[in-house]
Amino acid sequence: MVTGASSGIGRATVVALRQRGWDVVGVARRADRLAELADETGADVFAADLTRQADVDALAAYASSSPVHSLVHVAGGALGADRVEDGDSDGWLRMYEMNTLSAQRLVKALLPQLRRTARDEGTHVDLLFLTSTAAHTAYPGGAGYNAAKAGEAMVANALRQELVGEPIRVIEIAPGMVHTEEFSLVRLGDAEAADAVYEGVEAPLTAGDVADVIAYSLDAPGHVNLDHVTVRPVAQAAAHLVHRGPLAPRA
């Protein structure tokens, strides 16, 4: 099961997993985009807003008819780039609901089904969370998103300890700069400002790059857990340190 499947990394993850032979349920709010994804990949799809408990309950009921081996939680996002003193509290709350609370709701709803799969099939199962380097390093104008993604990361870290002794892998993938069609546009609300984020950066990550890392972590041998993977483009050395211009060796 892959959330955030209507665009960006979530959509690319559905494509990558289908290419590797996985049966996939793609989950997102936008039913029209999910229909296109289903036609393209053969994935099953389910429309849900993961900030609504009723939708999460409906998703769990839908998933109960088949074994669930892996939950890949990609859905989330950033809103605005406010300084702390200027922060929009409603926007910050929305980010917390989108990133952190959605993770908790999904775990609570689907963990019993993952456990049942592990027990019935004698196999391992997976809980994978796509966070961000923003979960681990603060930056000016990022505090609302930093806090929301840090919350999600702490959910994953605590969960790994709570589930020790069970055949359940808890994986966190934390990307840096990824150029997708919507992330910066939704965050900043302006196409020119969104384009400026990536201006001059040679080969920022693509959604497909991150999807490949996700797929690799799920396909790794069952006794291997990638607790935390940070993935950045070569042009980015840290959250605040991005090289703009061609990459070239020094003389």
Could you read off the pLDDT of 134-191 as tens digits, one per residue?
A: 999 999 999 999 999 999 999 999 999 999 999 999 999 999 999 998 888 888 888 8
Cα–Cα distance list, 49 to 89, 148, 181, 211 (Å): 21, 17, 20, 22
Q: What is the pTM of this model?
A: 0.95
Q: Catalytic annotation on 198?
A: no
Q: Which residues of the chain have pLDDT under 50?
A: none
pLDDT at 193: 87
pLDDT at 191: 87
Tell me the average pLDDT of the chain.
96
pLDDT at 181: 86
> How many Cβ atoms sit within 10 Å of the Cβ of residue 165?
6
pLDDT at 151: 98
pLDDT at 188: 85
Pairwise CA distance, residues 189 & 194, whole Å:
8
For the chain, which domains are there? Answer: 69-238 (3.40.50.720)
Residue 230 pairs in a beta bridge with 174
> How many Cβ atoms sit within 10 Å of the Cβ of residue 177?
18
Of the listed 62, 96, 139, 145, which one is catalytic?
145
pLDDT at 194: 85
Q: Which two tokens stand for residue 211?
A: 């999807």
